[in-house]
Amino acid sequence: MSTKSRTRSKTRLSRALGIALTPKAAKYLEKRPYAPGEHGRTKRKQDSDYAVRLREKQRLRAQYGIREKQLRNTFNEARRTEGLTGENLVELLEMRLDALILRAGFARSTSQARQLVVHRHILVDGQLVDRPSFRVKPGQLIHVKAKSEGTEPFQVAAAGAHADVLPPLPSYLEVDLSTLQARLVRRPKRAEVPVTCEVQLVVEYYAAR
């Protein structure tokens, strides 16, 4: 799929779910705050409970850019973990390496964050990690490989160029953009995580299946 096609796809999905998945999609949503298609402007009929839960699950999945199997596996882990399942789910997803790279400002979007990991630019505590789903532990240091620091994407990030499209830095991360380093200081709390999702509806979706 070409870059233009991916951009159109993300924009269309953003409009369908009512959330901006990329900076470009955010601009489209400002101009067209309704779903795509010929009926996008018209008021929808009342959605069923199932449709509402499904949509909320899709919103969460889209914001982290993960497959259904990955979300379900994380949900099962969250259910086994002490505490509220919905909150656990978001907190576990937020500790993914690609999610933290985005929050730290090393990337402009989830897809770019994933590419940086897959293309072997990222280290965790000095060890190369090429799995976007890698679970970062509190205290671990995320940093850019020395040979990659001088490349354009990281120079742009180091200059703070993504600040205009990203949420404020959450308090569970310590970041030094000038050295392209970020540390997860503690486990995120759901209330601090900048994702749009009614997590209880996601829990209800999986509980009913």
Instruction: Let me know whether 55 and 67 are in one domain.
Output: yes
Give CA–CA dist 203/185, Å, rounded.
27
Q: Which domain holds residue 76?
A: 48-95+196-209
**Do the domain assignments include residue 191?**
no
Cα gap 70→83, rounded to integer Å: 21
> Which pair of structure tokens corresponds to residue 186?
């503690």
Identify whether residues 61 and 136 lie together within a single domain.
Answer: no
Tell me 148's DSSP state: G
pLDDT at 18: 77
Residue 169: its pLDDT value, please? 96
pLDDT at 35: 52
pLDDT band at residue 64 using 50, 70 and 90 as cut-offs: very high
pLDDT one-digit tens code per residue, 155-174 = 999 999 999 999 999 999 99
Cβ partners under 8 Å of residue 202, min gap 6: 53, 56, 57, 60, 75, 86, 89
Sign of the Cα torsion 59, 61, 64, 66 reads negative
Q: Tokens 């969250």, residue?
A: 78
Look at residue 64 and tell me if it is in a domain. Answer: yes
Residues 87, 100: one domain?
A: no
Q: Are residues 144 and 127 part of one domain?
A: yes
The model's confidence at residue 12, banded by pLDDT at 50, 70 and 90, is confident
Average pLDDT over the chain, rounded to an integer: 88
Q: What is the pLDDT of residues 78-132, one digit of tens each?
A: 999 999 999 999 999 999 999 999 999 999 999 999 999 999 999 999 999 999 9
